[in-house]
């Protein structure tokens, strides 16, 4: 195999030569630097590289090119080399257009021309592209095959689990010819109980309706701790937990993060977060999670998936958690970052159709199945708005069903504006879902106008619910002080009007901010009482909790 390729394409030959020269100077020893003067020429070069079996580490494409612009070229290049990292070269005047278009091809960076001196403007970007490419590896994608039914909760949960953990897989319907072939070769009867969903690993191992834990182990996700004792245990792998893991591990604490399902939490389900600092062109929840996860692992944090903490243990100065299988881990301190979950929608027939057309959260894996159909989204907050924008690209029509009188009270202005500009999105206020109907899958939703009482039947095969959120903290009952809604109290919120410390508090000081009613147990993010429900605040609290862990350890 030859050296991996760095490819640059620009219709101005002098620019293309200059980029290639700068790249060769710095990377020539380890990478083969190639250049092209147009998109089609660059695609031909990529096809040849593919035929030779060589790898492409990064592609730098000019935005403004005749015949095929940079975005169109990168889109086509992704089909050939999906793992190659991508940067777009733009002139200052094109930044807006480029930023808008960046969402289409998910580029890693855009570079403003001219980039002199390259040491400051070009090389740091290319270094980052190469580091990301190396971290992800460029071996052929090891393909996991999943055979299942379209409207089956078990099949949905399995695909959702793989997607949210960023494990690539190929999906086959059980009644498709390839699906039948796979079932036959696995000697599996699709009618028998506990066969579907069926998973075939790249090694050819067959798993019949595996549990998330079994699946996680087989697809290479860590599920068991390597140590018995850590400096800090972080419970929950959303932005707050990942933020805490990055800071704790980077500051030398022996850190383990335990996540019951998949890292990313609620943010991981967001199709595009547009208000997180440092991402002017927005970032998908999956991308943000992938980067945060890699960052935490790079600093030495251990991340365990499919491990649900179900008991908080306080023994002398040790703090710990017990898992569902009865095993325990202990540490000097614990950071609880368990976030919130969607409330269940109360409507007749909805429970039977959950996972069969009705989904809580964004369920992006269902997007292709929504093509040409009407989709109903329930909720009036940003999460529902983002989902409406996302599904409007797939569905023929999206109805956003909101109980309140308007969106202004619950949704950011930028999203309200975006929604107003999308033709196939209809916002229906003062409306609730009163029934979900269908044989084996959702086929109809009855909507009720709360002002007139009128019922409107809507033929919709998909309904995504984003209503309110509840902290699932019952397992902390009796150990920590929580508010009436179950959110965990911390810091001065724990003190009585006369400054009295919480019952059982045994330290000779008031609780630190973010410290719960048990010294050494901290809380960060959405699960904290009165927290701001935002990605930035969750990440910030995760980082702050770690500083307070240090203060606790040295107190
Ligand atoms: C679709 C969507 C879009 C959003 N868009 C935006 C946006 O654009 N901008 C913005 O600022 N905010 C947005 N938000 C809100 C933002 O995502 C949350 O405020 C943020 O994710 C909170 O982070 P967290 O880490 O506190 O909790 P969560 O993200 O809720 O993560 C908690 C994690 O803990 C895990 N967990 C829970 N209990 C246990 C247990 N017992 N054991 C182990 N693990 C457990 C959960 O599985 C979960 O992964 C959005 C939310 C959603 C749902």
User: From the CA atom positions of the chain, what is the Rg in Å?
Assistant: 25
Whether ligand 1 lies within 6 angstroms of the CB of 362 is answered as yes
Whether ligand 1 lies within 6 angstroms of the CB of 380 is answered as no
Mutate to test the pocket of ligand 1, among 161, 216, 236 (most ligand atoms within 8 A of CB): 236
Query: Any idea how long the chain is?
Result: 555
Mutate to test the pocket of ligand 1, among 310, 524, 535 (most ligand atoms within 8 A of CB): 535
Burial class (CB in 10 A: 0-12, 13-18, 19+), 23: buried
Tell me the β-bridge partners of 42. none
Span from the CA of 267 to the centroid of ligand 1 (angstroms): 5
Span from the CA of 394 to the centroid of ligand 1 (angstroms): 25
User: Order of strands, edge to edge, in the sheet holding 455-458?
Assistant: 431-437, 444-449, 455-458
First-to-last alpha carbon distance for the chain, in angstroms, is: 57
Mutate to test the pocket of ligand 1, among 260, 262, 266, 523 (most ligand atoms within 8 A of CB): 266
What distance in Å separates the CA atoms of residue 3 and residue 1, rounded to the nearest whole number? Answer: 7
Mutate to test the pocket of ligand 1, among 282, 285, 309, 338 (most ligand atoms within 8 A of CB): 338
Instruction: Return the pLDDT at 180.
Output: 92
Ligand 1 atom nearest 262 alpha carbon: 49
Ligand 1 atom nearest 308 alpha carbon: 42
**CA pseudo-torsion sign 256, 259, 264, 266:** negative
Burial class (CB in 10 A: 0-12, 13-18, 19+), 227: exposed
Burial class (CB in 10 A: 0-12, 13-18, 19+), 547: middle
Three-state secondary-structure class, residue 396: coil
Span from the CA of 339 to the centroid of ligand 1 (angstroms): 5
Instruction: Return the pLDDT at 301.
Output: 97
Ligand 1 atom nearest 236 alpha carbon: 34
Whether ligand 1 lies within 6 angstroms of the CB of 62 is answered as no
Q: Taking the model in full, what pTM does it have?
A: 0.77
Q: Report whether 182 contacts 172 (CB < 8 A).
A: yes
Which residues neighbour 259 within 8 Å (Cβ) at sequence distance 6 or greater?
236, 237, 241, 303, 304, 305, 306, 307
Instruction: Return the pLDDT at 169.
Output: 84
Span from the CA of 400 to the centroid of ligand 1 (angstroms): 22
Which residues neighbour 53 within 8 Å (Cβ) at sequence distance 6 or greater?
1
Whether ligand 1 lies within 6 angstroms of the CB of 383 is answered as yes
Span from the CA of 490 to the centroid of ligand 1 (angstroms): 19
Span from the CA of 341 to the centroid of ligand 1 (angstroms): 8
Q: Helix axis angle, 239-250 relative to 535-553, nearest 10°?
A: 40
Going by CA atoms, what residue is nearest to atom 53 of ligand 1? Answer: 266
Reported in sequence order, the residue ranges of 404-498 that DSSP labels E, i.e. its strands, are: 425-428, 431-437, 444-449, 455-458, 462-465, 469-470
What distance in Å separates the CA atoms of residue 552 and residue 555, rounded to the nearest whole number? Answer: 5
Whether ligand 1 lies within 6 angstroms of the CB of 308 is answered as yes
Span from the CA of 329 to the centroid of ligand 1 (angstroms): 24
Q: Of 185, 98, 85, which is closest to residue 125 (Cα–Cα)?
A: 85
User: Order of strands, edge to edge, in the sheet holding 144-148?
Assistant: 169-173, 144-148, 198-200, 206-208
* 3-state percent helix, strand, coil for the chain, nearest multiple of 5: 35, 25, 40
Q: Report whether 107 contacts 74 (CB < 8 A).
A: yes
Whether ligand 1 lies within 6 angstroms of the CB of 270 is answered as yes
Going by CA atoms, what residue is nearest to atom 37 of ligand 1? Answer: 338
Whether ligand 1 lies within 6 angstroms of the CB of 384 is answered as no
Reported in sequence order, the residue ranges of 92-228 that DSSP labels E, i.e. its strands, are: 109-112, 144-148, 169-173, 198-200, 206-208
Whether ligand 1 lies within 6 angstroms of the CB of 261 is answered as yes
What distance in Å separates the CA atoms of residue 7 and residue 21, rounded to the nearest whole number? Answer: 12
Instruction: Return the pLDDT at 138.
Output: 60
What distance in Å separates the CA atoms of residue 291 and residue 78, rounded to the nearest whole number? Answer: 20
What distance in Å separates the CA atoms of residue 334 and residue 345, rounded to the nearest whole number? Answer: 33
Burial class (CB in 10 A: 0-12, 13-18, 19+), 75: middle
Whether ligand 1 lies within 6 angstroms of the CB of 265 is answered as yes
Span from the CA of 166 to the centroid of ligand 1 (angstroms): 17
Three-state secondary-structure class, residue 541: helix
Task: List helix spans (H) across 220-284.
Answer: 239-250
Mutate to test the pocket of ligand 1, among 165, 216, 238, 477 (most ligand atoms within 8 A of CB): 238
pLDDT along the chain (555 residues), means of 10: 90 89 94 94 90 89 88 85 87 66 70 81 89 72 82 91 84 91 88 90 90 91 94 98 98 97 91 85 83 92 96 96 96 98 93 93 80 94 92 93 95 94 96 96 97 97 91 95 96 95 95 98 97 95 98 94
Going by CA atoms, what residue is nearest to atom 17 of ligand 1? Answer: 267
State how far the alpha carbon of 393 is from the alpha carbons of 102, 307, 390, 432, in Å. 16, 35, 6, 24
Q: Report whether 336 contacts 423 (CB < 8 A).
A: no
Q: Of 415, 402, 381, 148, which is closest to residue 272 (Cα–Cα)?
A: 415
Whether ligand 1 lies within 6 angstroms of the CB of 212 is answered as no
How many other CB atoms are there within 10 angstroms of residue 189's CB atom? 11
Whether ligand 1 lies within 6 angstroms of the CB of 364 is answered as no
Cis status of the peptide bond prior to 171, with omega within 30 of 0: no
Instruction: Return the pLDDT at 94.
Output: 67
Ligand 1 atom nearest 264 alpha carbon: 49
Whether ligand 1 lies within 6 angstroms of the CB of 306 is answered as no
Span from the CA of 277 to the centroid of ligand 1 (angstroms): 17
What distance in Å separates the CA atoms of residue 174 and residue 147, rounded to the nearest whole number? Answer: 6
Whether ligand 1 lies within 6 angstroms of the CB of 289 is answered as no
Q: Report whether 288 contacts 538 (CB < 8 A).
A: no
What distance in Å separates the CA atoms of residue 285 and residue 164, rounded to the nearest whole number? Answer: 10
What distance in Å separates the CA atoms of residue 555 and residue 548, rounded to the nearest whole number? Answer: 10
Span from the CA of 302 to the centroid of ligand 1 (angstroms): 20
Whether ligand 1 lies within 6 angstroms of the CB of 237 is answered as yes
Q: Torsions phi, psi of 460, nearest 5?
A: -135, 135
Ligand 1 atom nearest 524 alpha carbon: 26
For residue 492, the 8-state DSSP code is G
Q: Of 360, 352, 188, which is closest to residue 269 (Cα–Cα)?
A: 360
């Amino acid at each position: 195999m030859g050296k991996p390729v760095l490819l640059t394409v620009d219709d101005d030959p002098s620019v293309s030569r200059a980029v290639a020269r700068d790249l060769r100077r710095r990377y020539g020893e380890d990478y083969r630097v190639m250049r092209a003067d147009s998109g089609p020429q660059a695609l031909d070069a990529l096809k040849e590289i593919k035929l030779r079996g060589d790898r492409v580490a990064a592609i730098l494409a000019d935005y403004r090119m005749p015949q095929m612009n940079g975005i169109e070229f990168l889109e086509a290049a992704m089909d050939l080399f999906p793992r190659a990292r991508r940067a777009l070269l733009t002139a200052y005047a094109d930044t807006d257009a480029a930023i808008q278009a960046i969402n289409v091809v998910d580029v890693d960076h855009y570079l403003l021309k001219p980039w002199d001196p390259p040491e400051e403007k070009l090389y740091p970007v290319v270094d980052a592209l190469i580091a990301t490419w190396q971290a992800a590896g460029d071996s052929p994608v090891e393909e996991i095959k999943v055979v299942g039914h379209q409207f089956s909760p078990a099949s949905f949960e399995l695909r959702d689990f793989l997607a949210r953990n960023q494990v690539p897989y190929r999906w086959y319907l059980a009644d498709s010819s390839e699906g039948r072939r796979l079932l036959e070769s696995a000697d599996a009867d699709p009618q028998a109980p506990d066969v579907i969903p069926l998973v075939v690993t790249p090694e050819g191992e067959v798993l019949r309706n595996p549990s998330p834990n079994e699946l996680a182990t087989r697809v290479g996700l860590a599920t068991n701790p390597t140590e018995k004792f850590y400096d800090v245990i972080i419970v929950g792998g959303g932005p707050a937990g990942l933020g805490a893991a990055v800071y704790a591990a980077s500051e030398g604490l022996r850190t383990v993060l335990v996540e019951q399902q998949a890292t990313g939490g609620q943010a991981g389900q967001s199709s595009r977060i547009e208000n997180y600092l440092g991402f002017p062109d927005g970032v998908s929840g999956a991308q943000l999670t992938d980067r945060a996860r890699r960052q935490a692992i790079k600093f030495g944090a251990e991340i365990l998936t499919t491990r649900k903490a179900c008991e908080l243990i306080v023994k002398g100065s040790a703090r710990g958690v017990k898992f569902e299988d009865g095993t325990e881990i202990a540490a000097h301190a614990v950071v609880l970052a368990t976030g919130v979950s969607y409330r269940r929608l109360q409507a007749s027939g909805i429970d039977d159709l959950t996972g069969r057309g009705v989904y809580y959260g964004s369920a992006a894996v269902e997007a292709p199945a929504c093509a040409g159909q009407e989709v109903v989204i329930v909720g009036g907050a940003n999460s529902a708005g983002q989902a409406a924008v996302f599904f409007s690209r797939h569905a023929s029509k999206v109805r956003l069903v909101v109980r309140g009188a308007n969106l202004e009270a619950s949704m950011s202005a930028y999203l309200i504006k975006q929604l107003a500009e999308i033709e196939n999105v209809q916002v229906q206020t003062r409306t609730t879902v009163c029934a979900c109907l269908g044989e084996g899958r959702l086929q109809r939703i009855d909507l009720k106008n709360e002002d007139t009482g009128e019922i409107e039947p809507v033929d919709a095969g998909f309904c995504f619910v984003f209503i309110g959120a509840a902290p699932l903290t019952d397992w902390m009952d009796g150990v920590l002080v929580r508010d009436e809604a179950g959110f965990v109290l911390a810091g001065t919120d724990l003190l009585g009007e006369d400054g009295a410390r919480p019952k059982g508090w045994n330290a000779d000081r008031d609780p630190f901010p973010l410290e719960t009613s048990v010294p050494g147990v901290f809380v960060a993010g959405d699960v904290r009482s009165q927290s701001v429900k935002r990605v930035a605040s969750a990440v910030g609290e995760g980082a702050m909790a770690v500083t307070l862990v240090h203060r606790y350890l040295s107190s």
